[in-house]
């Protein structure tokens, strides 16, 4: 469904959000361990997310990554997905046709539109805030299982 980059990016962002909600700045090593991802590769993804103003980074000793409290309710998961994977998953033809739309639909067009729209709404409506409020955020991380 999503690329590895996008999976790691989502997991990392949620983890950073979770830590930021208790004012913790977290470093790369900690993040990679928590979300079970390769460190150097995760670094690249965090760079992209930083440039796109999803997370912010702090260099030097005691540096790391964080998310402003005020951004939590602004950042929607769909932004992260779009940055890392584009929007083909939400708008592309499921059968891979270049030209497939209302006027010239593939046989599955209408069904695809329905489920893809539902998928899009799912990520459009969920903010980081929402995720943090769920019962099972901490399930995701390699902490105290």
140 Cβ contact partners less than 8 Å away, ≥ 6 residues apart: 11, 14, 15, 35
Pairwise CA distance, residues 46 & 32, whole Å: 11
Q: Which of residues 11-40 bind a second copy (CB under 8 A)?
A: 11, 14, 36
Cross-strand bridge partners of residue 89:
none
Contact 93, 102 (CB under 8 A): no
The one segment of 19-27, 49-57, 60-68, 103-111 that binds a second copy by CB under 8 A: 103-111
Residue 67 neighbours by CB distance under 10 Å: 22
Nearest CB to DNA, comparing residues 4 and 114? 4
- The C-alpha atoms of residue 26 and residue 15 are separated, in whole angstroms, by 9
- Which one, 63 or 96, has the nearer CB to a second copy? 96
Among 26, 94, 113, 124, binds a second copy (CB under 8 A): 94
Please report how close the Cβ of residue 66 comes to DNA at its closest, in angstroms.
10
| CB closer to a second copy out of 28 and 137 | 137
Q: Kind and range of the H or E element at 97?
A: none
Helix (H) or strand (E) holding 65: strand 64-66
Which of 56, 106, 113, 129 touches a second copy (CB under 8 A)?
106
Query: Is residue 8 within the footprint of a second copy (CB under 8 A)?
Result: yes
List interacting residues with a second copy (CB under 8 A): 1-2, 4, 7-8, 10-11, 14, 36, 88-89, 92, 94-98, 100, 104-109, 111-112, 115, 118-119, 122, 126, 131, 134, 136-137, 139-140
């Amino acid at each position: 469904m999503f690329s590895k980059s996008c999976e790691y990016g989502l997991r990392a962002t949620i983890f950073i959000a979770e830590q930021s909600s208790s004012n913790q700045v977290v470093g790369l090593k900690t993040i990679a361990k928590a979300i079970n991802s390769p460190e150097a590769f995760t670094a690249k993804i965090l760079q992209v997310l930083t440039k796109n103003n999803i997370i912010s980074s702090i260099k030097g000793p005691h540096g790391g990554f964080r998310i402003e409290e005020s951004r939590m309710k602004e950042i929607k998961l769909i932004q992260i997905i779009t940055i890392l994977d584009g929007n083909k998953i939400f708008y592309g033809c499921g059968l891979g046709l270049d030209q497939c739309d209302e006027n010239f639909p593939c046989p599955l067009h209408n069904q695809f539109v329905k489920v893809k729209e539902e998928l899009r709404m799912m990520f459009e409506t969920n903010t980081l805030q929402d995720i943090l409020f769920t019962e099972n955020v901490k399930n995701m991380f390699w902490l105290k299982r």
